[in-house]
Amino acid sequence: MTKLKKPLIIAAAIIAVCGAVVAAAAFNIDKILMRISPELYLGYIAVNTMNELDSELAMIDEAMPDIPKLSESHSLGFTLDTEDTQLSLTEDYNKDAPSVVFTGIYNDINFDGYINNTETALCLPSLLDVYFTFSTQDFGNEFVDGGGNNLLPIGVPRGLDLTLPSGNDSGEILSRGQLINFARTISEDAEIRHDSGDDYFLILRGENVKTALRDLVTAMLSSDILKQRLERIDNILNIGLDSYGEYLLSLIDSMEPGETLAVKYTQTKNYVSRIEAELPFPDSTLTLLADSRGARLLDDYTISVISESGGSQVGIEYSRNGNRMFADEEKTDAVECRVIFGGEELLRLGYETVFDKNNTGFSGSFELLTNFLGTSEISGDLSGAPAVDRDWASGMYIDITNIVDSGGSPGTCSVQLMQPMNLQTAERDKYPFSELNLDDISSLLELMQR
């Protein structure tokens, strides 16, 4: 071997060794960060997890059709035919000037009306050519006090607010920066212990957990997007969701995490695929779980929040699985949501859909079980197609068949959701006011009985 070749061989060996070290360091960067700086490591995998979710959501958006939304301006046609009920309804919604105009037939009785954010009106023209008007915001109280529940097969709850959504509430409830700050606070002075395989324990300081959770809830309660969504839900449910914020904060203050709190997590690739934590309270334990079992985070996952006290459970569990990310295959989606109270299912909602390869139609089924005041169950089969071939944005048709409720009465339902051609406007003076002294709907009931 010449004198020249020997140094070249040594240099090449040194470069190869250095390259191997660099490659190994890059490959095991998470392990290195885990030992050197747990806080930096947690930030690293948190960002990677959010990036993975963003990537998968983008794949789903690209593969799945853009289904029209009821919150956008639309024209809606709805028919329901069961053994006990026949209902036909058409409705126009204008999101720019929030208002609804509707007309229909319910069990051979014609009706029409309108809703705007000032008043709600209802007319039964075959009986009396006059609008009964109510405050939209105080609709529930005025309708019940006027005897309106005697007209309907189900009761309208007091306090029901029919104020319509306006504007666009799309966007993030929490920014990425807020989530990173949450991770930074909760992981201060944290330790990481290896369990087995890809499973780890994150040992957090108890006071850091309480501070981070309080900051997180406070930030969420300050989100205008979340406020709009909760307000919209509470307009229907009327259970005072705005008071739950203070309740959550007081619940966090009552936590007893001790000096440290262990959080178990599983790392897949360079992101978190499973995380589980038990938060101790004076008389109960709250278990938080997010578990992804598929090749990707959003393939097959479950999210649950369960409180257990004295052997009894209260909480909610949401699970989803399917193949929604690939445009060249059938896209399947299965969802189940369960509300548990006292260890029993208070509510269970589930559906399955299959979109064909060309996004020209879907089929599926649904099931709804409730145990509020006795057991009630309804199920049916779904099928749908875009109004124009492959153009879901132009509108869609949905047929719901083989509808079976707890009484066993079969039924069918059809829905047409379309882009509006010419939006109707509310016509308060559509009917000439009759010279009758009508204080409430009970006066109409008396006329119906004559």
pLDDT per position as a tens digit, 320-343: 999 999 888 899 999 999 988 877
Tell me which amino acid residue 57 is. L
- 27: pLDDT strictly greater than 50: no
pLDDT, residue 438, reads 45
- 166: pLDDT strictly greater than 80: no
Q: Do strands 271-280 and 285-292 pair parallel, antiparallel, or not at all (unpaired)?
A: antiparallel
pLDDT, residue 6, reads 54
Q: How far apart are CA 290 and CA 53, in angstroms?
A: 13
- 150: pLDDT strictly greater than 80: no
pLDDT in tens, 365-410: 999 988 876 778 889 999 999 998 888 988 999 999 998 886 666 7
Please compute the mean of the pLDDT values over residues 283-311 and round it to a whole number: 90
Q: How far apart are CA 313 and CA 127, in angstroms?
A: 51
The full 3-state SS of the chain, as one line of letters, equals CCCCHHHHHHHHHHHHHHHHHHHHHHHCHHHHHHHHCHHHHHHHHHHHHHHHHHHHHHHHHHHCCCCCCCCCCEEEEEEEEECCCEEEEEEEEECCCCEEEEEEEECCEEEEEEEECCEEEEEECCCEEEEEEEECCCHHHHHHHCCHHHHCCCCCCCCCCCCCCCCCCCCCCCCHHHHHHHHHHHCCCCEEEEEECCEEEEEEEHHHHHHHHHHHHHHHHCCHHHHHHHHHHHHHHCCCHHHHHHHHHHHHHCCCCCCEEEEEEEEECCEEEEEEEEEECCCCEEEEEEEECCCCCCCEEEEEEEEEECCEEEEEEEEEEEECCCCCCCEEEEEEEEEEECCEEEEEEEEEEEECCCCCCEEEEEEEEECCCCCEEEEEEEEEEEEECCEEEEEEEEEEEEEECCCCCEEEEEEEEECCCCCCCCCCCCCCCCCCCCCCHHHHHHHHHC
Q: How far apart are CA 171 and CA 446, in angstroms?
A: 50
- Residue pair 90/79 in contact by the 8 Å Cβ criterion: no
C-alpha distances in angstroms, 317 versus 216, 303, 338? 21, 6, 5
Of 50-54, 226-230, 432-436, 438-442, the one with minimum mean pLDDT is 432-436
Angle 215-171-263 (CA atoms, 0-180°, nearest 5)? Answer: 40
Confidence category of residue 437, pLDDT binned at 50, 70, 90: very low
Task: Identify the residue with better confidence: 332 or 197.
Answer: 332
Measured in residues, the chain has a length of: 450
- 445: pLDDT strictly greater than 50: yes
CA 308 from centre of chain: 24
Task: Identify the residue with better confidence: 268 or 291.
Answer: 291
Which residues have a Cβ under 8 Å from the Cβ of 397 and sit 6 or more positions away?
384, 385, 386, 387, 414, 415, 416
Please compute the mean of the pLDDT values over residues 164-189 and round it to a whole number: 75
pLDDT, residue 169, reads 56
- 258: pLDDT strictly greater than 80: yes
Please compute the mean of the pLDDT values over residues 125-154 and round it to a whole number: 80
Confidence category of residue 310, pLDDT binned at 50, 70, 90: confident
For helices 244-253 and 206-221, the axis angle rounded to 10 degrees is 170
Cα radius of gyration rounded to whole Å, the chain = 29
Confidence category of residue 43, pLDDT binned at 50, 70, 90: confident
Nearest of 75, 16, 49, 439 to residue 271 by alpha carbon: 49
- 4: pLDDT strictly greater than 60: no
Of 59-63, 243-247, 256-260, 294-298, the one with minimum mean pLDDT is 243-247
pLDDT, residue 225, reads 75
Which residues have a Cβ under 8 Å from the Cβ of 221 and sit 6 or more positions away?
227, 245
Of 190-194, 310-314, 439-443, the one with minimum mean pLDDT is 439-443
- 35: pLDDT strictly greater than 60: yes
pLDDT, residue 418, reads 92
Give the predicted TM-score (pTM) of the model: 0.77
Q: How far apart are CA 294 and CA 296, in angstroms?
A: 5
pLDDT, residue 171, reads 66
pLDDT, residue 365, reads 96
Q: Do strands 362-370 and 86-94 pair parallel, antiparallel, or not at all (unpaired)?
A: unpaired
pLDDT, residue 16, reads 47
- 168: pLDDT strictly greater than 50: yes
Q: Do strands 391-404 and 410-418 pair parallel, antiparallel, or not at all (unpaired)?
A: antiparallel
Which residues have a Cβ under 8 Å from the Cβ of 214 and sit 6 or more positions away?
249, 252, 253
Please compute the mean of the pLDDT values over residues 46-58 and round it to a whole number: 89
Distance spanning both ends of the chain, measured CA to CA: 119
Q: In the block, which residue shows the tokens 């379309």? A: 418
- Residue pair 155/143 in contact by the 8 Å Cβ criterion: no
- 432: pLDDT strictly greater than 90: no
